[in-house]
Structure 1
Amino acid sequence: MKNFLAIIIFVFSLSAYAQEYKTHKVKSGETIETIAKQYLVTPFDLYALNPDAKTNFAVNTILIIPSSKVTNQEIVEPSRTVIDYKKHKVKRKETLFGLSQQYGVSEDEIKKANPRLYSEVLKKGDRIRIPRFKTVVSKQTISNTLKKYTVQQSEGKWRIAYKFGITVPELEALNPNMNDVIQPGDELNVPNISNNEEKETTSKYNYYAVQPKEGFYRLKVKLGLTQDELEKLNPELKKDGLKEGMVLKIPKDAEVKKKAFQDTVKVIQTDLSKTIYNRKTKRLAVLLPFRLNRIDMDSIEEVKAMMKTDRVLSTALDFHSGVIMALDSAKKIGISTDLKVFDTEANTGRVARVTNDEDFEDYDAVIGPMLTKTFDRFASEVRNDVPIFAPLAMPSKVTRNVYQTIPEDKILMEKMINFVKSDSSYVNMIIIADQAHKEVSNQLKREFPKAQQIFTEMKDGKDLSFIYPTRLDGIFKDGKNIVFLETDDTSFGASVISLINGKSVDQREIVLMTTDKSRAFESDGPDNNYHLSNLKFHYPSINKEYDLDNEADFIKAYRQKYKVSPSKYAVRGFDLTLDILLRLSASEDGLSNLPEDLLTEQLENSFHYIKKTFGGYVNDAAYIVMFDNLRVVEVKQ
């Protein structure tokens, strides 16, 4: 009886809305896309009414079909598609206008094929791409389900997807040739809904795409927003529920609360050398600033002199030597690599030429460029999804395929604060800072309200960069005292370190710490390292120092090959390259599909990549290290 009533109610419901909905029985060979075209609706419309179709779509499935918002009017629509590119070397006096006339394309089409021309003037010798088009004129009705939309200022994929009520993957499916970073003026295909059905977007809010397996609880932890708060901002949630890929409007400051979610993820250190599934040869590109154009390779003495005086060159060479060693180590465990190295010459123009001449879409990963300005240029030029790793510098923007391998300063500071909070043995805390680090001192004070603050002396509004020794009288207690020293000033740092070292006596332990180990802790004074060891100086670090006395395979092999011990840049090149190859070999589906709790550690460096809410990946793995008997060692937590 209960089932009979349910059927009666369902039939009555369909009858009441017969003017808006119809049903369709799936036939053999049909897909959601072909059915959508048949009824002049979008796949998104069908999934909205038939959510089970995403996972349970089969012959004889009954789908609810909404009435089309458009008429089946036959139109003639010419389509213009890029079929390939012709390479052109710019001659003297040639202009964009002249080239557009010569090849029958617009200046804007040439610029889109060569994005650097939006900001650079065409020069003699430039190698550019000229698009070649195929124009097809056809009569069709299905195009009425879509319309063209011109991207506005400050609009990205997320805002446009939100505006038209679709997911970002659906927007990308409608626009297979869309760039990763869309620009104002770009034309996109979007669902053909009326203007009053478009959702309003504003810069007062951010927009967030729901990730796989995310429910309201995970969003509460991740974004700091309750279900009620999300539903008030996104009323459609009450009707349609939470769905993977849907774009939500969230407050501007919601991303700040994301770290709380990461803290709930249990991070597990994994040895990927034992989980090699993908044994295909890995194509790897490395871009480094050798600047070989400035070196006379026939003069050995000149090369040696430049290696001693040119810090950029020596760093690049050391890093490259580590890369080569990593390839050898990977080969021993069954990972083959096809490596190609490019000289960026530390020049953005050279980077643009490299990206013009080489198709990086065929690579599994790219390491570099090494410097921030050249890395930013490379990331903006390469529009496909190849993972790009920033090895030694912070990129200005972490876009969707960028991996920032150096942890941010705020991550290091958080790690130091959390380390101290986990220690209940200290009885007293003092924060000493110069005026330039007042905000850092205040932030520490907010985290440790009972701490005492001491700032450098001021006169006529000027920082005198010292404190009177008497200000330290009587502030230390018997037991463990923690002193945070926050400064970049070498002389001020050395004087404070010397002062507090003199205050350490039998019943009183003083431990020196900082959130940022700057040059202030690297004084050339003969007693500096002794004082730092005596004070058990602690600080957060992106890497730990390997033990030179530990004859690890890498160290022995490096000494044998290069006749010297590896520098920190050589170790960095080794660790990063080997880690990337291991990650590529641990997944058949790409790096982005590896587990979010994956923490790996190589010789000196650890890697745990967090997916940013609006962008790529940032490594948040770091160490707490300390001076112990004149050596720097990792503090086990």
Structure 2
Amino acid sequence: MRILKVLFLVLFFSSCIANTVKQDPYLRHTIEKGETVYSISKKYNVTPFDIYRLNPDAKEGIKENTTLLIPKAISTASTSTNDDGAAEVTTHKVAKKETLYSLAKQYSVSVADLKEWNPDVEKNGLKIGQDLIVSKVYKPTSGVNTVEVQEVKNTSSVSTHVVKTGETLYSLSRKYNITVDELKALNPQIEDAINIGDVLKIKQQSQIQVVNNLENNFYAVKPNETLFSLTKQFNVTEEELVRLNPDLKLGVREGMLLKLPTNLVIKDSLASTKPKANLLATIDYNTKKELVLLLPFNLAKMEADSTKTSKDFIKTSKFLNLTLDFYSGALVAIDSAKTLGLPVNVKIIDVESSPKSSNIAQIISRNDFSGVDAVIGPFYNSHAESAAQYLSKYNTPVISPLSKELSKPISNLYNAVPSQLQLNEALMQYLYAKEGNIVAVISQKKNASKEYLQKNHALVKFPTADEKGAFTIDAIRTQLVKGKKNFVILDSEKAGQVMNITSSLMKLKEEFDIQLVVFEIYDTLDYEEIKMQNLIELKLLFPSVTKEAKTIEELVAVKKMVTANKLNPNYYVVKGFDVTFDTLLRICQSENFEETSQKFSTDGVENGFNYVNENGTWVNKAIYIQFYDTDYTVKTAE
């Protein structure tokens, strides 16, 4: 079974790394020196879009002697040029049962792109037989007939991006993790569209201005600013701003004059976050690297127990099964690295580990870690801290792969899993960005949640419970606001209370715009008498450390592998793959792990990695805000 599991994982994850393509009818072209996607497209009488659709990695650049898939023909799409000559468009005649989602996947664009190119769809919906624009390629405006536009490679020091074929304001905002409004603010020369070859400013360096002891220190609120953006800009808490400006309880309005604290440090609110990087495109193949995995198999303990066989240990030990699952995913990552030719040696060392003890000190003293580029493990937070402290003399990065505990501030220790506090904060930041009315329904036994909100989020409202601790529909109604999104945070350990509150919210939904919110998907929500339909209708919103599979190829691959092997990669298997593969890619760069962590965030199969140093502790801030959608799927909120 274990061999089948590993074989299944190799096949599954290979499908996530390799390009997933149809069998026919395609040609295969071996790239020669000096060729570009544009020149190849002309050679085969296809568009660059057709090549990018079949070879997504080509968007990051093409390499000599690698192979591209070339379509022999385009089936249902036709290409034409706008009357103004400004853009080449590809159209598709809508067939029965086709949706914006299926067409977006078919043509490797986003649903937002389709809506932008076809404004009538937003109003009237998709119609059978409709000619839908599925690609819009802007021609260069310089007058040159044949131009291949190359993207500027972005690092934290690069502040511009050259627009290439098929890119939109929306796709760039997703790529660089900023909003469309921020992009427009940074580039006032653009309006609602961009052209190929445009040079856009992506990152504005943070400017700091110190305001010294002003007696009348006021600030006029600008368009699109929120309470959250103001707290970040002025480096103050919500509580302090509300204390100085009680009217903020009614919401932030453009033109409001806000009183600010003295000795204020004002930061530029448009400073962008780290760009997401494709580290596969920047591998340093000339320098050999070394990775060590410290995994708690506890083999010595297994061998010492004569009463149990290895099979018995595997059957009865949850911790060993967790380790084996993580190990299975890590093996797939290592095999993938080997297939890709990454110049890295990997060493796996068994750690004798329990919650209170380990042999980390002996392992590090008996092995030479002076040339190791990164260490993954151990699993327990305290043991990972010990490993980092022992290896701090080499400044070796130690990645704690599974613990949700926030570690001590150790300069070379990286927490790969966001803590619950970070999840809570990410969720609250999202709610503030949406400028909604926030109401928290917290049961009596969830004091920690209520104290957290009262201490850190002064604008949250709390309905009053009756003498039995119950929340009536009228008590909740008094805290809701019409004409505004009402986010209702629910935290209760009582299934009956959750059932009653969700039923009340369904009734109130006829009067108010309501979305249900939780800090985590807890067991009480699975209680059989709590209607799943209510959670879906209320679009249950929650923070998560993992994202759902999005592409058609991923979903098809999962379905095929599950059917063939009767196995499904669980949380720990995928975590093993994502943490290991991300670490392998980071150490195989010209810069070391710490430098790539400072500059780039990355996306794995399910897990993202955005390491940020907060008060001496490296934390992973790649968090996904997700919700139950009405089509019974979990989606990532925009």
In the alignment, structure 2 segments of 5+ residues that lack a partner are 1-204, 214-263
CA-to-partner distance for each residue in 1:561-618, whole Å, 9 max, x for gaps?
Answer: 97512101111111111111111222x23122237341210111111111334x3522
CA separation in 2, counterparts of 1:263 and 1:521? 40
Say if 2:407 and 2:415, in contact at 8 Å, map to a contact too: no
Q: Which residue is equivalent to 1:417?
A: 428
> Relative to 1, partners in 2 of residues 1:262 and 1:450: Cα closer, same or farther, differing over 3 Å?
closer
Q: Distance in 1 between matches of 2:483 and 2:575?
A: 39
CA pair 436-381 structure 1, distance change in 2 beyond 3 A: farther
Aligned to 2:201: none
State the SS of the aligned residue for 1:544.
coil
Q: Compute the displacement of 1:538 (Å).
A: 0.6
Which residue is equivalent to 2:353?
A: 346
State the secondary structure of the residue aligned to 2:370: helix
Counterpart residue number, 1:529: 532
Query: For 1:344-383, what aligned pairs fall within 5 Å after superposition?
Result: 344-347=351-354, 348-383=357-392
Pairwise CA distance, 1:260: 6.6
Distance 1:262 1:388 in 2: 33
What pairs with 1:508-523 in structure 2 (closer than 5 Å)? 508-514=512-518, 516-517=519-520, 519=522, 521-523=524-526
- Following superposition, the deviation at residue 443 of structure 1 comes to 5.8
- Among 603, 606, 617, the alignment partner of 2:605 is 603
CA distance in structure 1 between the aligned counterparts of 2:512 and 2:345, rounded to whole angstroms: 58
Secondary structure (helix, strand or coil) at the match of 1:564 reads coil
User: 1:617 aligned to 2:626?
Assistant: no
Of structures 1 and 2, the larger Rg is shown by 1
Query: Which AA in structure 2 matches 1:264?
Result: A
Q: Deviations over 1:203-241 (max 9, x none)?
A: xxxxxxxxxxxxxx96947xxx7799xxxxxxxxxxxxx
2:419 to 408, 427, 444: 408
Partners of 1:262 and 1:322 in 2: how far apart? 40
Report the CA distance between 1:341 and its aligned residue. 1.7
Total equivalences in the alignment: 381
- Alignment CA distance shift 1:300-1:497 (3 Å): farther
- Work out whether residues 281 and 337 of structure 1, in 8 Å CA contact, stay in contact via their aligned partners in 2: yes
Change beyond 3 A, Cα 1:332–1:634: farther
2:604 counterpart of 1:633: no
Instruction: Indicate if the aligned counterparts of 1:432 and 1:453 stay in contact, CA closer than 8 A.
Output: yes
Partner amino acid for 1:321?
S
In the alignment, which residue of structure 2 is the partner of 1:195? Answer: none
Task: Report the alpha carbon displacement of residue 258 of structure 1 after superposing the two structures with TM.
Answer: 11
Aligned-residue offset at 1:524: 2.9
Choose which of 419, 426, 441 in structure 2 pairs with 1:432.
Answer: 441
1:575 equivalent among 554, 578, 597:
578
8 A Cα contact 1:609 1:618, kept in partner: yes
Query: Partner of 2:503 in structure 1?
Result: 499
Kept in 1: contact 2:463–2:479 (CA 8 A):
no
Amino acid at match of 1:635: T
Judge conservation of contact 1:478–1:507 (CA < 8 Å) in 2.
Answer: yes
SS in 2 for 1:366: strand
The residue type equivalent to 1:371 in the other structure is Y
SS at match of 2:627: strand
Q: Separation in 1 of the partners of 2:534 and 2:427?
A: 21
Aligned counterparts of 1:218 and 1:543: Cα–Cα separation in 2 = 30
Counterpart in 1 of 2:258? none
- Measured after TM superposition, the shift of residue 259 of structure 1 is 12
Q: How does 1:190-201 map to 2 (within 5 A)?
A: none
Q: What is the aligned partner in structure 2 of residue 589 from structure 1?
A: 591
**For 1:93-112, what per-residue CA distance to the aligned partner results, in whole angstroms no more than 9, with x for missing partners?**
xxxxxxxxxxxxxxxxxxxx
Distance in 2 between residues matched to 1:260 and 1:532, nearest whole Å: 39
Provide the secondary structure at the position in 2 that maps to 1:330: helix
CA–CA distance in structure 2, aligned partners of residues 369 and 349 of structure 1: 9
Q: Pick which of 535-544 and 414-423 moved more.
A: 414-423
Deviations 1:251-273 (A, max 9, x none): xxxxxx99978982432122111
Supply the AA of the counterpart residue of 1:409: Q
Q: Does 2:489 match 1:489?
A: no
Q: Which residue of 1 aligns with 2:399?
A: 389
Q: Deviations over 1:473-517 (max 9, x none)?
A: 565565565343353624366335433344254454421013x21
**Of residues 290, 311, 324 in structure 2, which corresponds to 1:317?**
324
Residue aligned with 1:360, SS: coil
- The correspondence of residues 436-451 of structure 1 with structure 2, limited to 5 A, is 437-438=446-447, 440-441=449-450, 444=453, 451=460
Aligned partner of 1:156 in structure 2 is: none
One-letter code aligned to 2:503: L
CA contact (8 A) 2:407 2:617 kept: no
Change (3 A) 1:531 1:336: farther
Distance change (3 Å), C-alpha of 1:286 and 1:457: farther
Q: How many angstroms apart in 2 are the aligned matches of 1:313 and 1:370?
A: 12
For each residue in 1:454-483, what CA deviation from the matched residue of structure 2 results, as whole angstroms up to 9, or x when unmatched?
25556xxxxx66434553356556556534
TM norm structure 2: 0.52
In 1, the alpha carbon distance for the partners of 2:307 and 2:287 equals 39
Query: Paired residue for 1:293?
Result: 300
1:539 aligns to 2:546 (yes or no): no
Residue 379 of structure 1: SS of its match in structure 2?
helix
Q: Which secondary structure does the structure 1 equivalent of 2:319 belong to?
A: helix
Change (3 A) 1:505 1:455: closer
Q: Identity of paired residues, percent?
A: 24
Letter in 1 for 2:413: V
Separation in 2, partners of 1:319, 1:568 = 9
1:388–1:523 CA distance, 2 compared to 1 (3 A): same
* 2:432 alignment partner AA: K
Query: What displacement does 1:405 show?
Result: 1.4
Matching residue of 2:476: 472
**Distance (whole Å) between structure 1 residues aligned to residue 494 and residue 286 of structure 2:** 51
Distance 1:585 1:444, change over 3 A: same
Counterpart mapping for 1:255-334 below 5 A: 264-295=271-302, 302-334=309-341
Distance in structure 2 (CA, Å) of the matches to 1:551 and 1:503: 38
Question: In structure 2, do the counterparts of structure 1 residues 293 and 517 end up closer, same or farther at CA, with 3 Å as the change threshold?
Answer: same
Contact 1:325 1:554 in 2 (8 A): no
Structure 1 gaps of 5+ residues are 1-216, 229-256, 459-463
Change (3 A) 1:528 1:569: farther
Give the conservation status (yes or no) of the 8 Å contact 2:333–2:578. yes
CA drift at 1:342: 2.1
Measure the CA separation in 2 of the matches of 1:528 and 1:293.
Answer: 49
CA distance in 2, matches of 1:521, 1:263: 40
Q: Is the 8 A contact 1:327 1:578 kept in 2?
A: yes
Give the superposition deviation at 1:361: 2.2
| AA of the residue aligned to 1:404 | N
SS at match of 1:589: coil
Change (3 A) 1:592 1:508: same
TM-score normalised by length of structure 1: 0.52
CA contact (8 A) 1:494 1:528 kept: no
Q: In the alignment, is the contact (CA less than 8 A) between 1:488 and 1:518 conserved in 2?
A: no
Q: Residues 528-586 of structure 1, C-alpha deviation per residue, up to 9 Å, x if partnerless?
A: 43332121011111111335974379858976997512101111111111111111222
Distance 1:295 1:630 in 2: 48
CA positional deviation for 1:527:
3.6
